[in-house]
A = this chain, B = another copy of it.
């Protein structure tokens, strides 16, 4: 059979990716880590990040074990019970559970590797800036690429080996659920950590004691830098790991049950179905190759314009992906009938459409958050009229910014659906995420240069070097806006695909069938109602968590300044460990309620109102989650850049009332864009996967119709 050989493409790409990550790690580590003071600061950051990861992984371990045990005893339709049978899957509970654990451990490993290199790269990038912009850029870029390559490599190796051993999509579902559990903790926890430190440092250090950004006397400075790593490197990495795997599994599950779509031709034979099932994996393999070549292109070409270099990498990867995907399809149609081959070509086009849509979404986010475009300019100008007006302005443009990506997603969905039905939409999600290696690399570059700038400042490298680091940092911010829009769009399409695969899975259980998620059915309507409310509730809980923790941080910073006046004079170092502890413990404690919500509410809705209502619940949550995620990310980004634009000397510049108002905007935007907004993606994926995993359990209640049947 030609197929397993083709599957090697994914495996090889994954292994290449890890090899390249190791090579980049070597390139980073061999660089000069700078002077003693820089190494000291970097050491604090590294130690803080490691301490956080250690505590986080310990709790995560307990969570994973508990869920794994639960999965073992779940009356899953996987176990071929007498009542229900499943057409496509004969995987066993323990197999799925093992895959779950492997997914969780894989995601943790990728996160650990990325962060380990990230905290080594920052001081080296700062030192590199003393040589040239290019040198600094290279080191930071290589450091970020380690994260990107590790994430995608581990994910692809995991998925392809697992499927090779047990060719059953339900196994890959377990792997995906494992990755999601980790992502939920890493993203929410990291988001709370980073903003606790950031807001705390700003409120006391900057506002009360007039210390500049990144001043070493501020006890929360190191925690703030640690936060960039745990939130923006490890958190974002695990988030995209999660979406990536979820998009693959959603497409695989749809492919496995392909004959069930009324919208598609019904006479695929077993071989064709197998080809469609592994197509998403292999396509991601060539996507990863495209990413590798894109990253290599940046390395080879180099650039004195960091922002342009990052974008060039993305465009190169996109074009290569389209070419390689066509080549792959050309090979994979061998052995298929004409009709089946046409279908595969259509699916390939869906993937390319998805990727193009992702880039358009990224550019939209970029437009709404760039300081040289109208929205952010207006937000900055609103700061002239005080704190309240800047807030109203940022919130309004954030809400407005939901419209263009909605149009983008809708158009992509329409085209993908026309070509391949709901499976086409799932393939668009896969395509959007195919070059995620590039996306994560660009994203992880951001916090490294952010940290590098801080280390340059604390290591007294002088104004010239700091300005160079600033240029690198600003390129990171632009890249980040694009990747964020991309990530939200990809997660959105992915959860749509998961929704379709969930209903397909439900319909696959005989004798049960959902048939329709009919909003005229009152259970379904109530499900949708509750779903729409969840992202609002979830955002509120995360923002309140940041606020509560930041208040504790503020108290601690004040306490340190008051009990030891020598900290302020710079004679004695601040107690960084204490502030890092507060951020660590606080963020983990505040995780409890959101993580319970994400697992229990979908299950509760399924138990009470039934499986169709649960599908509507997911739909409602996906749609309103999209609105909240885009709104919060873009308004937060706009606030941030409006502030920076004013700090560049516009509208009076630093220290003016206008600047103060813009800081208020930024502080409001911080938990929007770095905690609540991006965590919604993960929430949606976790809830969708929970629904799929617990489906068999839900069958116990009124045969899937729920306890409350009218």
**Chain A contact residues, CB within 8 Å of chain B:** 199, 203, 207, 263, 382, 385-389, 391-393, 395-400, 402-403, 406, 409-410, 413-414, 417-418, 422, 425, 496, 500, 503, 514, 516-520, 522, 524-526, 528-530, 532-533, 536-537, 539-541, 543-544, 546-547, 550-551, 554, 615-616, 619-620, 623-624, 626-627, 631, 661, 663-668, 671, 708, 710
Cβ A395 vs Cβ B543 within 8 A: yes
Choose one: B391, B536, B627; the contact of A668 (CB below 8 Å): B391
- Which 8 pairs of residues, A with B, have the shortest CB-CB distance? A388-B667, A399-B540, A517-B519, A516-B518, A532-B623, A387-B387, A387-B664, A400-B540
Given A392-B547, A520-B517, A536-B627, A413 and B668 contact (CB-CB distance below 8 Å)? no
25 A-B residue contacts at CB 8 Å? A386-B667, A391-B668, A392-B671, A393-B547, A395-B540, A395-B543, A395-B668, A396-B540, A399-B543, A402-B536, A402-B537, A403-B537, A406-B529, A410-B529, A414-B522, A417-B522, A417-B710, A422-B522, A503-B520, A516-B519, A516-B520, A517-B519, A519-B615, A528-B619, A532-B620
Count of identical protomers in the assembly: 2
Cβ A539 vs Cβ B710 within 8 A: no
Bound form: Cα–Cα A133–B12 in Å: 84
**Residues of B contacting A519 in the complex (Cβ-Cβ under 8 angstroms):** 516-519, 524, 528, 615-616, 619
**Residues of B contacting A537 in the complex (Cβ-Cβ under 8 angstroms):** 399-400, 402-403
Shortest distance from the beta carbon of A649 to any chain B beta carbon, whole Å = 23
Cβ B400 vs Cβ A526 within 8 A: no
Shortest distance from the beta carbon of A489 to any chain B beta carbon, whole Å = 13
Chain B CB within 10 A, most for which of A396, A517, A663? A396
Given A520-B516, A668-B392, A627 and B533 contact (CB-CB distance below 8 Å)? yes
Choose one: B203, B396, B539; the contact of A399 (CB below 8 Å): B539
Bound form: Cα–Cα A627–B403 in Å: 18
Given A529-B623, A533-B406, A710-B417, A664 and B388 contact (CB-CB distance below 8 Å)? yes
Shortest distance from the beta carbon of A518 to any chain B beta carbon, whole Å = 4
* Sample of 4 further A-B pairs with CB below 8 A, known A399-B537, A414-B526: A387-B664, A392-B671, A400-B537, A413-B522
Cβ A536 vs Cβ B631 within 8 A: yes
Bound form: Cα–Cα A392–B387 in Å: 13
**Residues of B contacting A666 in the complex (Cβ-Cβ under 8 angstroms):** 388
**Residues of B contacting A539 in the complex (Cβ-Cβ under 8 angstroms):** 396, 399
Bound form: Cα–Cα A550–B384 in Å: 13
Cβ A397 vs Cβ B540 within 8 A: yes
**Residues of B contacting A409 in the complex (Cβ-Cβ under 8 angstroms):** 529
Cβ B710 vs Cβ A418 within 8 A: yes
Bound form: Cα–Cα A425–B387 in Å: 44
Bound form: Cα–Cα A318–B413 in Å: 49
**Residues of B contacting A547 in the complex (Cβ-Cβ under 8 angstroms):** 382, 389, 392-393, 396
Bound form: Cα–Cα A524–B413 in Å: 12
Cβ A543 vs Cβ B414 within 8 A: no
**Residues of B contacting A520 in the complex (Cβ-Cβ under 8 angstroms):** 422, 500, 503, 514, 516-517
**Residues of B contacting A522 in the complex (Cβ-Cβ under 8 angstroms):** 413-414, 417, 422, 425
Bound form: Cα–Cα A603–B667 in Å: 41
**Residues of B contacting A263 in the complex (Cβ-Cβ under 8 angstroms):** 710
**Residues of B contacting A402 in the complex (Cβ-Cβ under 8 angstroms):** 533, 536-537
**Residues of B contacting A663 in the complex (Cβ-Cβ under 8 angstroms):** 388
Bound form: Cα–Cα A203–B392 in Å: 14
Bound form: Cα–Cα A616–B398 in Å: 25
